[in-house]
């Protein structure tokens, strides 16, 4: 099974490429992502988190698995701030300001166009995953000083375990 890449793995800071053809290979990547997400008890995962620089995200908020290919946030409104965690940053939680309501366009694994209108927590989860496709993690929403402190603490803990 694929291991979740942990910060500061450089792949997490790279931009993922758009998927050109939604074929069996894409489905296979999505399956691997879902497996990694579920076995780590996550609610969302982006392809770079298993080391693949393709614009694919998987999300399951308790209503079944959703796979989004080439997701794009078309519109966003309102703002809210909440603590978030990330599978690539074990034991770190930071306050992240995000749009409260978003409109996202994407494709599913069958190549069908998806249009999602989301608000509150689901909107936040999808924004978090789309951030990953641009190489942005939750720690990049806070100051550099705070980020360095948190990462130092995390790495110390990881080494100790
Ligand atoms: Zn994450």
Dihedral over alpha carbons 94, 99, 101, 104 (to 10 degrees): -100
Return the ∠ at Cα 8 (arms to 92 and 150), rounded to 5°: 30
CA of 127 to the centre of ligand 1 (A): 10
Domains, the chain, ordered by start: 10-160 (3.90.45.10)
- Single out the residue of 53, 59, 32, 50 nearest to residue 118, CA to CA: 59
What values do phi and psi take at 58, rounded to 5?
-125, 145
Q: What is the dihedral of CA 122, 112, 65, 117, to 10 degrees?
A: 10
The confidence score (pLDDT) of residue 161 equals 67
Walk along the chain (161 residues) in steps of 10 and give the mean pLDDT of each run. Answer: 97 98 98 98 98 98 97 96 97 96 98 98 98 98 95 91 67
Burial 66-87 (b: 16+ CB within 10 A, else e): bbbbbbebeebeeeeeeebebb
- Is 83 an annotated catalytic residue? no
How far apart are the C-alpha atoms of 35 and 16, rounded to whole Å?
20
How far does the centroid of ligand 1 lie from the alpha carbon of residue 14, in Å?
Answer: 14
Q: Which of 72, 79, 129, 148 is catalytic?
A: 129
pLDDT of residue 151: 93
How far, in Å, CA of 16 to CA of 54, rounded? 5
Say what the pLDDT of residue 160 is: 84
Tell how far the Cα of 8 is from the centroid of ligand 1, in angstroms.
13
Determine the distance separating the centroid of ligand 1 and the alpha carbon of 136, expressed in angstroms: 9
DSSP 3: P
Distance from residue 7's CA to the centre of ligand 1 (Å): 10
What span, in angstroms and rounded, lies between the C-alpha atoms of 30 and 44? 12
* Residues whose Cβ atom is located within 5 A of ion ligand 1: 86
Instruction: Report the separation in Å between the CA atom of 99 and the middle of ligand 1, taken as the mean of its atom positions.
Output: 17
């Amino acid at each position: 099974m694929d291991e979740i890449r942990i910060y500061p793995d450089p792949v997490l800071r790279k931009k993922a490429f758009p998927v050109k053809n939604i074929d069996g290979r894409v489905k296979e990547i999505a399956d691997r992502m879902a497996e990694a997400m579920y076995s780590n008890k996550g609610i969302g995962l982006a392809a770079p988190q298993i080391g693949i620089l393709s614009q694919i995200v998987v999300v399951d908020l308790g209503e079944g698995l959703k796979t989004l290919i080439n997701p794009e946030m078309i519109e966003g409104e309102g703002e809210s701030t909440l603590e978030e965690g990330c599978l690539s940053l074990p034991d770190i939680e930071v306050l992240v300001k995000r749009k409260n309501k978003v409109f996202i366009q994407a494709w599913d694994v069958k190549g069908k166009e998806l249009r999602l209108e989301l608000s509150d927590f689901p909107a936040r989860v999808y924004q978090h995953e789309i951030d990953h496709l641009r190489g942005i993690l939750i720690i990049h929403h806070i100051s550099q000083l705070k980020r360095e402190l948190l990462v130092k603490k995390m790495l110390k803990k990881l080494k100790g375990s």
